[in-house]
Amino acid sequence: MDAEEYQPPIWKSYLYQLQQEAPRPKRIICPREVENRPKYYGREFHGIISREQADELLGGVEGAYILRESQRQPGCYTLALRFGNQTLNYRLFHDGKHFVGEKRFESIHDLVTDGLITLYIETKAAEYISKMTTNPIYEHIGYATLLREKVSRRLSRSKNEPRKTNVTHEEHTAVEKISSLVRRAALTHNDNHFNYEKTHNFKVHTFRGPHWCEYCANFMWGLIAQGVRCSDCGLNVHKQCSKHVPNDCQPDLKRIKKVYCCDLTTLVKAHNTQRPMVVDICIREIEARGLKSEGLYRVSGFTEHIEDVKMAFDRDGEKADISANVYPDINIITGALKLYFRDLPIPVITYDTYSKFIDAAKISNADERLEAVHEVLMLLPPAHYETLRYLMIHLKKVTMNEKDNFMNAENLGIVFGPTLMRPPEDSTLTTLHDMRYQKLIVQILIENEDVLF
């Protein structure tokens, strides 16, 4: 049975059924023309009336609603809504969209519809919702496992065929047609995949049509902002379920729009590489024709040409042509590599470890300082550690050609200190104060790369 034919049988329908049963909104229209009615409200606005009057107008009809202006605070507006045999009053706001809480709606009707669904489901299924995350399908045998073997076999078959061993567009297409959860399961079992841990990049998302949570298999209720979606891999889950999802994001290449300015771990997982391809390709080019170049990494290339290289990587990825035929000046390639590191949203030496590295650099005893640096290195995320290790091996080669390029470990430390590590707070004073320690850390890493890594 092909992947596209597979229909997952495990989605739980209880919450979907409850949404279908939820009371429908019933607008109570004001029979008279109300003066000074806000232009963004309709005939459901009844002007300045009391809570008691609003309650009477609703007439005990479930789902009935009106809008009113507060008697106590003129200029403030209230949604009066009948639910559960009582009248609920909500302070109503408008900033181009209508809202009473986090969610923002185009119309009052949508706001009330979503509110009634939420109230009904959370009233009827409070205990059920509280236990949704206790027995997830995410790591259990289910439709993902059923498909995992099929997709894994397809991937393993491709290893024996004369083409790329990474997950290609064809495999991506097959997996996309099922779900991001199946895709994750398949990639997890692909031997070629570099299994760096990565947190999901969840953002609130509005789903069109019925959607089920890929963690607990329950329906995601409401009209808008029903859950969250990982912008890197496409995993769809409830907001409360997102707190329980493991750090196993497998980024999807079609969601990664560029190479520069992309999170390092996200990029390497999306491209199924140990290190960012920019680092590998640039270093390979520099070592092939630039190790003896005077002032290597210190001398700047033309900014315009460096930006061209950046755009080439963003556009063409690993097919970007940075050969001597296109860029004869090696300083353009070194500039592009340094720019890549500077553009990272999280530096190679991460914000979390920055202060620990600075503290280690301040230790006066050389042996103790080296030991402290080694301990902090172990705290780096695996993809960051591997990238730093590879770069330091390269920079050590640069220093071995010092008689030609005049670049020793100290000089390289001056160049790469602020490139590889930045303080978490954007403070010029902190940066200036820490520059000598940044330089020292990179110098130590280069001089001791064979011991530290």
CATH topology of domain 277-451: Phosphatidylinositol 3-kinase; Chain A (1.10.555)
HSE value, Cβ hemisphere, 13 Å, CA-based, for 225: 15
Give the phi and the psi of residue 424 in degrees, each rounded to 5.
Answer: -60, -40
Mean pLDDT score, 218-242: 92
- Could you tell me the two tokens for 124? 């009827």
pLDDT on residue 164: 33
- In 77-168, alpha helices (H): 108-124, 126-130, 143-159
pLDDT on residue 195: 65
Contact 94, 111 (CB under 8 A): no
Mean pLDDT score, 349-368: 96
Pairwise pLDDT comparison (409 vs 162), residue with the higher score = 409
| Whether residue 27 has pLDDT greater than 60 | yes
Helix-, strand-, coil-residue percentages of the chain, each rounded to 5: 50, 10, 40
298 Cβ neighbours under 8 A, 6+ residues apart: 407, 411, 415
In this prediction the pTM is 0.64
Q: What is the per-residue pLDDT across 234-293, written as a single tens digit (0 to 9) for each? A: 899 999 999 999 888 888 888 888 999 999 999 998 888 999 999 999 999 999 999 999
Nearest-CA neighbor of 339 among 376, 321, 312?
312
Q: What is the per-residue pLDDT across 3-19, written as a single tens digit (0 to 9) for each? A: 444 444 477 889 999 99
DSSP state, residue 94: E
CATH architecture of 134-144+194-250: 2-Layer Sandwich (3.30)
Q: What is the per-residue pLDDT across 84-113, written as a single tens digit (0 to 9) for each? A: 999 999 999 999 999 999 999 999 999 999
173 Cβ neighbours under 8 A, 6+ residues apart: none
Mean pLDDT score, 218-245: 92
User: To the nearest whole percent, how much of the chain has pLDDT over 90?
Assistant: 71
DSSP state, residue 105: B
202 Cβ neighbours under 8 A, 6+ residues apart: 228, 229, 230, 231, 237, 242
Contact 290, 278 (CB under 8 A): no
What CA–CA distance (Å, rounded) separates 229 from 205? Answer: 6
Mean pLDDT score, 172-183: 43
> Euclidean distance between the first and final Cα of the chain, in Å?
47
Cα–Cα distance list, 7 to 147, 149, 151, 211, 331 (Å): 10, 16, 15, 14, 55
Q: What is the per-residue pLDDT across 282-341, written as a single tens digit (0 to 9) for each? A: 999 999 999 999 999 999 999 999 999 999 999 999 999 999 999 999 999 999 999 999
What CA–CA distance (Å, rounded) separates 347 from 264? Answer: 8
Mean pLDDT score, 126-145: 71
347 Cβ neighbours under 8 A, 6+ residues apart: 341, 354, 420, 421, 422
What CA–CA distance (Å, rounded) separates 311 from 341? Answer: 15
| Whether residue 154 has pLDDT greater than 50 | no
- Could you tell me the two tokens for 61? 């009809």
pLDDT on residue 430: 83
- The domain spans of the chain are 13-131, 134-144+194-250, 277-451
DSSP state, residue 82: E
Mean pLDDT score, 394-419: 97
Contact 19, 119 (CB under 8 A): no
| Whether residue 171 has pLDDT greater than 80 | no
| Whether residue 346 has pLDDT greater than 80 | yes
Task: Name the pLDDT band for 139 (thresholds 50, 70, 90).
Answer: low
Top CATH class of 13-131 equals alpha beta
Contact 143, 174 (CB under 8 A): no
| Whether residue 229 has pLDDT greater than 90 | yes
Mean pLDDT score, 357-362: 97
